[in-house]
Amino acid sequence: MRFSNTFLDEIRDRVSISTVIGRRVTWDRKKTNVSRGDYWACCPFHGEKSPSFHCEDRKGRYHCFGCGVTGNHFRFLTDLEGQSFPEAVQTVADMAGIAMPQPDAQAEKREKERTTLLDVMEIATRFFQDQLQSASGARARAYLRDRGLTGRTIETFRLGYAPESRNALKEHLASNGVPKEQIEACGLVRHGEGIAVSYDYFRDRIMFPILSSREKVIAFGGRAMAADAMAKYMNSPDTELFHKGQVLYNFTRARRAAQVGGTRQEPGTIIAVEGYMDVIALYQAGVENAVAPLGTALTENQLELLWRMTPQPILCFDGDGAGLRAASRAADLALPFLKPGRSVSFALLPDGKDPDDLVRHEGRAPFDKVLAEARPLVEMIWQREASSGSYDTPEKRAELEARLKQIVSVIADENVRRHYQQAVRERLNGFFQPASRVSNDRRQNFQRGGGRPGQGGAPMGPRAAGRAAGVSDRLTRSGLVRGHRDLPALRESVLAMTIVNHPQLLLDEYDEIASVEFESRDLQRLWSCVLTIAGRASPDFSAKHLREQLEENGFADLLRAMNQQIRNARLWTATEDADPQDALQAYRQTRALHSRNKELLWQKVELERELAEMTEDEAERADLLLRALLEVQNEISRMENQEAIIDGFGVLSGRVKGAAVSHG
C-alpha cells in the first residue's frame, strides 16, 4: 500500500534511527557520542574489524564509509532484514506506538492474493520433495547422489522431483482445494490459447525451489532427467510472484553468510556463479556466499542486487569460450553503473571446469585459489581489447585507443570515468612505448616494461598473472637479472629449464624442441645430454628422473644456478610449479622470439659485413644496404619493445628497471 509522507515523517520522528539500527549492531564506545546522536559501529552489511558504519539521529540517515551503503530507517530494514517496504513501515510504526493507516481496499486484495499464491507454491514444493523420496524419484535420487550431494544438502535446498505424469501436481493441488485460477497464476501448469486442458509445467525434472528475499518459494527451476528433453534447464514463467531478471538464486542465504563472515573469503564477499548446481556444490564445500542468475545472462536488476550485498561482488565464470563471452557481457553491463567504491571483479575457472566440477573432484582449495586471483573490471576490459589482435601499425594502435575510449565513455560517474581514462592511458603507454631513452648510461640496458599487470603493464592472459615468456637481449645482458656473469642468457635458461621441469613437452613435440640451438656452451652440452636421455626414455620418464640423470652427468650446479636465475626473474612458467599448458604456451612464445631474434642478428651481421666491404663507387648499393640494415635494427628494437605484450613480462621488466634506478 502507499503511505503518506506525513505518516512516514511522523513515525521517523518518534523513533530515532539509532534505535532501529541498534537492534542489529553494537555501537563502538570510543567513537560514539550519544549526547550528539552520533553513532559508529562495524558495518552489518559487509563485515569489518574496525567501525566505519555511521548513523546520525539528527539527519535520520546511516552511511558506511567502507562499502558505501546508505539509507534511512526503512532502507535499513529492507536491505538488511529482507523486509518488504510495508513490513518495514509496520516495524517502525510499532516501535513508535502508532497505528498503521487503513490500507486501500484494492491493495489489500492484491496483497491477500499474493499471500495465497505463496501458500500454493509451498504446497507444490512439499509435493516435489515427497516425490523425490518416492519410488518414482529413484532416478532423480541416483542422479543427485552421483553429483555428490548429501541428504542434508538436498534437504537444505528443498530439492524435489516432478513426476512424468502430465497431471500429477495439478491433481495434487486440486485435491488440496487450490482453484484452477491460482494454479495457473503460479505458473505451475501450461494453459491458454491452443491448450484445451491445462497440464503440469514441469515433468520428469529435478526441482530447485527459487526463494524470495523473505525466503518464500516464488518459482522453480527444473533440470530434465531425459537426455532428449528440449531444454536441459528451465524456470517458471513470469508471474505475480516471480520476475526472472530480478531474482538471484540463493540470495538471502548468501547475504546472511556474507554478513557473518562464515566463509574463508573476506566478510562481505558475494560470488556470482552460473547455475543452481554450482551454488549447491559450493555450499556443500563450505562456500555459502554464492548466488546465480536464473539460466540467463546477468541483468541490471541482478547486478543491483549484488551491489546491495557487497560493493565488489566476484563474478565467477567457466574458463571455456562461453564463460569468457559471459564475462565480457557482464563487464559491459557493469561499466555504466560504476561508482566510487562500487565495481565488480572476475574469477575465471580452468578451461572446461565449472565450480561444481572443481570442488567435487578436487576439493575447495583450487576454487579458493581461483577467487584469490580474481581480476578487477579494468583489467578484464583491457585484456579483452588488447589481446584481440596485433598492433604493429599506427592505424591499429589508434583503433585500439579509440575503442577503449569509447568503452570507458559509458561510465556515468564522472570521477570513476576519469580514473578509468587515466588507467587506459597508462596501459596504452606501457603497451606501445619504445625503449626508455634516459641519459644515465647505467640504465640504458633496461627496457621500459610499462609497470605491473593491472597498473598499466602488459595485458593479462586468460590464466593467472605471472605467465611470463619472451625475454629481450637487453634484459638478458643485465647482470642484475642473470645473477651471475657465467650464466647463460636468461632467454636460453627459460627454454632449457622449461623442458627440464616439464620433459613431457619434449616427448610431445620432439622435432621442434630438439632443434633449438643455444649460444651458451654449457647449455649446448646440457642439451645434448637431455636429448640423449629423452631418446631412451622409459614410460615413467619424469622431471625428477631427468634431473637425476643430468645431475649424475655433472650438471647439478648449472641446473641450480639457472633455476635460481628464472626464479629471481619471476618467470614462473619455466619452473616445476607451472601448469603444463601454461608452460607449453610460454615456451612456444619464447622459442619463436628466440628463433626470430637469431635470424635478425645474423642478417644484421651480414649487412654490416657487406657495408664494411663497400667501395666508394658503390654508393647506390651502399644506400640500399643501409636502409636494409636500419629496417633490421628497427625490427630488433620493435621485438624487444613488444615483449612487454607477453603476459607477465611487465612484472619482470618493471622490477628490473626499478632495481636499476635504485642501484643507480
Identify the pLDDT of residue 345. Answer: 95
CATH fold for the domain made of 5-96: DNA Primase; Chain A (3.90.580)
Phi-psi domain of 554 (left: phi exceeds 0; alpha: psi -120 through 50; beta: other):
left
Q: Is the pTM of this model over 0.95?
A: no
pLDDT per residue over 320-368, tens digit each?
778 888 899 999 999 999 988 789 999 989 877 889 888 988 888 999 9
Picking from 593, 641, 598, the residue whose alpha carbon sits closest to that of residue 469 is: 593
CATH fold for the domain made of 246-432: Dna Topoisomerase Vi A Subunit; Chain: A, domain 2 (3.40.1360)
Using CA atoms, how far apart are residues 608 and 539, in angstroms rounded to an integer? 50
10 Å CB burial of residue 115 (0-12, 13-18, 19+) is exposed
Q: Considering only 383-387, 405-409, 529-533, which range has the smallest mean pLDDT? A: 529-533
pLDDT over 80 (residue 285): yes
pLDDT over 50 (residue 80): yes
Identify the pLDDT of residue 438. Answer: 32
Domain definitions of the chain by residue range: 5-96, 105-242, 246-432, 473-663
pLDDT per residue over 201-238, tens digit each?
999 999 999 998 878 999 999 999 998 888 899 999 99
In this prediction, residues 501-527 reach a mean pLDDT of 81
**Please, which pLDDT band fits residue 458 given cuts at 50, 70 and 90?**
very low
* Residues 210/215/218/222 CA torsion (nearest 10 deg): 20
Using CA atoms, how far apart are residues 6 and 280, in angstroms rounded to an integer? 46
10 Å CB burial of residue 272 (0-12, 13-18, 19+) is buried
What are the backbone angles phi and psi of residue 346, rounded to the nearest 5°? -125, 130
pLDDT over 50 (residue 439): no
10 Å CB burial of residue 111 (0-12, 13-18, 19+) is middle
DSSP secondary structure letter of residue 98: -
pLDDT over 50 (residue 253): yes
CATH fold for the domain made of 105-242: DNA primase DNAg catalytic core, N-terminal domain (3.90.980)
